[in-house]
Amino acid sequence: MSKIQSPAKIACIQMRISYCRVEENLAEADRLIEAACANGATLLILPETFTTGSAFDTRAEAYAVAEAIPDGRTSQFLLKKAREHGVYITGSFVERDGADLYNTAVLAGPDGLVGKFRKLHPCEDEVYWAEPGNLGIPVFHTPIGRIALLICLDAYYPECFRICALQGADIICTMFNAYHVKESRRLPDPYATMAGVLCMANALSNHVFVACCDAVGECNGTRFAGQSMVANQWGAPLAGPASDEEEAIVYADIDLADSRRKYFHPTNSRLANRRIDVYSQDLGYHPEKYH
């Protein structure tokens, strides 16, 4: 078991996104990153497609703002901020790989690019521009803990969280463009967004910390739900939920090593007590396929 250097301070940066205005969104992200770092954050999470939004009217619009990794401006921005402050930062944006486009999150660290994750499950109209992710579900080992990344609709599949946990993730960072839904589908306040509920439930099921970072405000006709939060390994809100209308930074001080204690009673361990005689131990996931 690798040793974690120190407790981490998580910052979910809930920001407004201006549609396809990359420089404007990078400037806003920069302002909020500076504020979070000044407050001691060591792991910063930005929303899904934080430089553009994801509800593109055409594939051509998505292609026009897509970037290569790591040479594109958003990758370079995140790498620069992580290096300057000695922190870890993640957020997703539109990646261009040849003719293909992906909704991709990078994890930038003090020493450079730690890795990237491509969204597995494109959502609604996203299927018209984004390819399904083909990098598996990696877990990145860092001095502050083992970090996994998921993007929006991936959180609707419990298999994604379980595969992260089976690979030893201490925290799962989830990035959303979750939007306000009609009244018949809303939950009672203060948990009116399903994103937070999914994150709390899967934190409990897998005994891991889960950070849920959504955007806020309106972007190309979509009103984001906000309510970013961090759930502890018992599934309870450790910080948040934030407002559903205003920008916010949600902070949580956590010892990621706590997620490695996969039991709440000596005879009841989240992973050890699985009935692998009934269902597959690894859900058919083979990480070596993606290396």
Task: Give domain limits for the chain.
Answer: 8-269
Quickly list DSSP for 131-188.
Answer: PPP-S---EEEETTEEEEEEEGGGGG-HHHHHHHHHTT-SEEEEEE--B---GGGPPS
| Res 252 pLDDT > 60 | yes
DSSP code, position 249: E
Sequence-ordered list of residues with C-beta below 8 angstroms from that of 109, at least 6 positions apart, any chain = 82, 87, 88, 142
pLDDT band at 251 (very low <50, low <70, confident <90, very high): very high
pLDDT of the residue at 2: 45
Q: Average the pLDDT over 217-236 and give the result.
A: 91
| Res 286 pLDDT > 60 | yes
pLDDT tens across 101-139, in order? 999 999 999 999 999 999 999 988 899 999 999 999 999
Q: How many CB atoms lie within 10 A of CB 60?
A: 9
CA distances from 239 to 40, 102, 129, 161, 231 (A): 16, 30, 34, 20, 7
Catalytic residues: 48, 119, 152
Sequence-ordered list of residues with C-beta below 8 angstroms from that of 149, at least 6 positions apart, any chain = 90, 105, 107, 117, 138, 140, 172, 173, 174, 175
3-state secondary structure of 219: strand
pLDDT tens across 29-38, in order? 999 999 999 9
pLDDT tens across 230-247, in order? 999 999 999 999 998 999
Name the phi and psi angles at 203, rounded to 5: -60, -45
pLDDT of the residue at 246: 95
Residues 191 and 231 sit within 8 Å (Cβ to Cβ): no
Architecture of domain 8-269: 4-Layer Sandwich (3.60)
pTM of the predicted model as reported, rounded to 2 decimal places: 0.93
pLDDT tens across 59-81, in order? 999 999 999 999 999 999 999 99
Average pLDDT, the chain: 91
